[in-house]
Amino acid sequence: MKKPAVKTTAYLLCALGIVYSVLYYLSYLPFNTPLKNTAPLESKITGINLVPEFQKFVLFTQGCKVPKYDPFDKTILEYYKNISGDIECSGKRYLNIVNNKVILDNTQVQKDFKGKKFVCTYRSILRNPKNDTSRADNKFEYSKEKLLKFGEDLPSEFVKAFCRTNSTVVYEEFLASTPLKPQVEERCEKSSSKRLTKTPLNIIVVGIDSISKLNFERHFKRTAEFVRNNLKMFEFHGYMKVADNTFPNLTPMLTGHFIKHYYTSKNKDRYFDDLDFIWKNFSVIGYRTLLAEDAPDMATYNYVKNGFQFPPTDYFFRPLTIAIEDTPWHKRSKVDCLQAKPEIKVLFDYLRSFLSAMESRPYFAFTWAARLTHGKLNKAGLADKPAFELLSDIKNMGLLNKSMLIFMSDHGIRFGGIRKTYIGKVEERMPFLFISFPPWFLQTYPKVAQNLELNQFRLTTPFDIHETFVDLYQMMSNDYSYNPTPYGISLFKKISVERNCNSAFILPHWCVCHDYHKIPSKDESSRKVANILLEAVNNITQPYRDSCAELKLSSIIDVRVSKPIKEMLTYSELERAGDEKSVVFDDSIGSHLEYQVTLQAKPGGAEFESTLQYIKDTFKLADISRINKYGNQGDCINDSEMRKYCFCLKSGNVTLPS
């Protein structure tokens, strides 16, 4: 008689185990995946609907919910234009570099010059040969002119070539190569003994400036399909920036620190050589390093800054770009071109050359394309084909099986009409991020693979990429002496569903985990917060009052108010353990409001935006952004940071933004 009871108990325990497993599994489903047959659950306390439509969110966790916005929403369609295809450049190209060798297009030469003798010479481009300590990153000289031999290795890393017929220069071209450097190879061979792993993982970063996750959907159709369906890259849907522009967003990724750790108003003339760049750690264990950006005037550590006194990496693209910028023909080239070649392709070809030259040698390569897309919403479409071709080549070269590949941006469009829309504000804070690892790596570390899969649907930041670099470095070296910074969580580790902007060190001004509600500009609270913001701007320029006008309120463009994540503030418990959808809420909501205000000031038409926290009858102001171009309105003062707040009193020759 006891056996059936035991059997029944076993069945019951088995059933309970199955139920628990299902609930556990469901709790880890991607939160933007719709579930079938999910009837609304009523809260016992508040009576609110606890089961949202998951498909309407790109991120849905306890700590952060981000709505899924239509990339072609009617509120932004007036700013969108479909631009795609090839970048059309004029001119012809007679010289190319293949495997670091100079190749002459003899067919084109014979066609254009009809049997004339075609002789080329070159001058090497030398970075700061006099070791000048003032703005060394902007100094270069040319060597003496020498004969350029076709079919042989390019004599220097960067050269300017001159080709003549009948002693007349008929063609000029800049050429770049990535030869193995004896001093670098000697260092790496000695250092490789510190690297314990037999299969070091390369790191390749391909960045394109100012591309939000939504603008990636609009313009990178071919690349998007390729990275998702062919490369099977991890896509981080909750990736948010932590600061305003490129410099303060890439620095956390590369060093693990906010820029204030290194760079303040008291040391703005500093160089950046001593920053804790993560590539330095990899260099110590035998990695070759590369830093390449295509727009020297807006380079991450050079825009209104001093840059580097010495080359920061083994391979450094800047000397070539500085020389190119210095030539008249650069100004004559079509927009987005360097004579006959798209500028972004010049940059990507440099990376291709490096990847090919390194072969089986380990490396850390960081490449950033800025000129084509910086501040240009629809030029993103012209970056689709070059990006697709580069990623295709990386795959075809077999590099995905021995590299961590990161394809990313730093932020969305920060200026222009779309930036004044609510969706524009949201997407400006959410750049795209894709990362891939070799299959063997994921099989070797199954927990890492599981966490990467999960973290695609968690709130993530540039600090997390840095901590992932640190983890990878430790795997490669078995060196655990690196002091971690407190701001990030490695993507190899499970990121909590409770993570919110505060715990991720994202200031309210940049946090997208809000559901803002628009309030009328005529509302008393709108005018109050607008005046507080304007007063703060005037306080900033007060020390320059002899030069800068005191601004007045011209108009209130937009005010939105919200309580920080209602679900986070009112969370009490899970009604059913392990079921993230059975949340029980209570009504203990604190008096905490946040206003996001955008206004226009006069004179000058400056447009400012900030977030104001209202806690216990006190307003607290976050960072202030200038969201329209300001030309040279503030040129009467030397402080580059202050210029965006200043309208010069003597503005007769000031160029106002369009």
The predicted structure's pLDDT at residue 515: 60
Read off φ and ψ for residue 596, nearest 5 degrees.
-105, 115
For residue 33, with 0-12 CB atoms within 10 Å meaning exposed, 13-18 middle and 19 or more buried, which class applies? exposed
Q: Is residue 339 within 8 Å of 333, Cβ to Cβ? A: yes
**Residue 573 scores a pLDDT above 50:** no
Q: Are strands 238-239 and 288-293 parallel, antiparallel or unpaired?
A: unpaired
Pairwise CA distance, residues 475 & 457, whole Å: 25
Pairwise CA distance, residues 399 & 401, whole Å: 5
The predicted structure's pLDDT at residue 589: 36
**Residue 78 scores a pLDDT above 60:** yes
Pairwise CA distance, residues 366 & 358, whole Å: 14
Other Cβ atoms less than 10 A from the Cβ of 442: the count is 16
pLDDT band at 616 (very low <50, low <70, confident <90, very high): low
Read off φ and ψ for residue 430, nearest 5 degrees.
-130, 85
181-235, pLDDT tens digit by residue? Answer: 999 999 999 988 777 777 899 999 999 999 999 999 999 999 999 999 999 999 9
Q: Is residue 248 within 8 Å of 462, Cβ to Cβ? A: no
Place of tokens 């679900």: 567
Structure tokens at 302: 């050079």
508-530, pLDDT tens digit by residue? Answer: 778 888 665 688 999 999 999 99
How much is the average pLDDT of 39-59? 38
Q: In the 8-state DSSP scheme, what is residue 580? A: T
| CATH code of the domain occupying 184-510 | 3.40.720.10
The predicted structure's pLDDT at residue 651: 59
pLDDT band at 176 (very low <50, low <70, confident <90, very high): very high
Domain ranges for the chain, please list them.
Answer: 184-510, 516-571+585-648
Structure tokens at 522: 């005529």
* 21 torsion bin: left (phi>0), alpha (psi -120 to 50), beta (else): alpha
**Residue 564 scores a pLDDT above 50:** no
Structure tokens at 266: 């008291």
| Residue among 220, 196, 182, 236 at smallest CA distance from 453 | 236
Helix ranges (DSSP H) in 29-93: none
pLDDT band at 615 (very low <50, low <70, confident <90, very high): low
Q: Is residue 317 within 8 Å of 347, Cβ to Cβ? A: yes
Structure tokens at 21: 């497993």
The predicted structure's pLDDT at residue 534: 96
**Residue 174 scores a pLDDT above 80:** yes
Q: Is residue 484 within 8 Å of 469, Cβ to Cβ? A: no
Structure tokens at 6: 């035991």
CATH of 516-571+585-648, one of 2.60.120.10, 3.10.450.10, 3.40.1170.60, 3.40.50.280: 3.10.450.10
**Residue 23 scores a pLDDT above 50:** no
Please spell the DSSP secondary structure of 87-124, one letter per residue.
----S---EEEETTEEEE-HHHHHHHHTT---EEEEEE
CA separation (Å) from 160 to 89, 121, 271? 20, 8, 28
Helices vs. strands in the chain: H and E counts, helices first: 17, 27
For residue 520, with 0-12 CB atoms within 10 Å meaning exposed, 13-18 middle and 19 or more buried, which class applies? exposed
Q: Is residue 174 within 8 Å of 323, Cβ to Cβ? A: yes
| Residue among 68, 23, 32, 70 at smallest CA distance from 458 | 32
* 656 torsion bin: left (phi>0), alpha (psi -120 to 50), beta (else): beta
Of the candidate ranges 428-437, 449-458, 487-496, 641-650, the one whose mean pLDDT is the lowest: 641-650
The predicted structure's pLDDT at residue 591: 54
pLDDT band at 562 (very low <50, low <70, confident <90, very high): low
CA separation (Å) from 175 to 155, 172, 248, 329, 651? 10, 10, 32, 15, 44
Pairwise CA distance, residues 315 & 563, whole Å: 49
Other Cβ atoms less than 10 A from the Cβ of 7: the count is 10
Please spell the DSSP secondary structure of 216-236, one letter per residue.
HHHH-HHHHHIIIIIS--EE-
Pairwise CA distance, residues 24 & 427, whole Å: 32
| Sequence-ordered list of residues with C-beta below 8 angstroms from that of 528, at least 6 positions apart, any chain | none
Structure tokens at 165: 């017929």
Structure tokens at 533: 């913001």
Pairwise CA distance, residues 349 & 342, whole Å: 11
**Residue 314 scores a pLDDT above 90:** yes
Structure tokens at 511: 């946090």
How much is the average pLDDT of 161-170? 95
- Type of residue at 241: K
For the chain, the C-alpha Rg in angstroms (whole number) is: 28
The predicted structure's pLDDT at residue 592: 60
Of the candidate ranges 181-185, 400-404, 564-568, the one whose mean pLDDT is the lowest: 564-568
**Do 184-510 and 516-571+585-648 agree at the fold level?**
no
Place of tokens 């800068």: 548
pLDDT band at 31 (very low <50, low <70, confident <90, very high): very low
Read off φ and ψ for residue 320, nearest 5 degrees.
-65, -45
The predicted structure's pLDDT at residue 60: 84
The predicted structure's pLDDT at residue 332: 75
Q: Is residue 330 within 8 Å of 338, Cβ to Cβ? A: yes
How much is the average pLDDT of 469-480? 91
Structure tokens at 126: 């030398």
Please spell the DSSP secondary structure of 251-292, one letter per residue.
HHHHHSS-GGGT--TT-TT--STTS--HHHHHHHTT-EEEEE
Other Cβ atoms less than 10 A from the Cβ of 378: the count is 18
Q: Which range among 126-135, 216-225, 294-303 has the greatest average pLDDT? A: 216-225
How much is the average pLDDT of 244-255? 95
**Residue 548 scores a pLDDT above 90:** yes
The predicted structure's pLDDT at residue 366: 99
How much is the average pLDDT of 74-80? 92
Of the candidate ranges 9-13, 130-134, 267-271, the one whose mean pLDDT is the lowest: 9-13
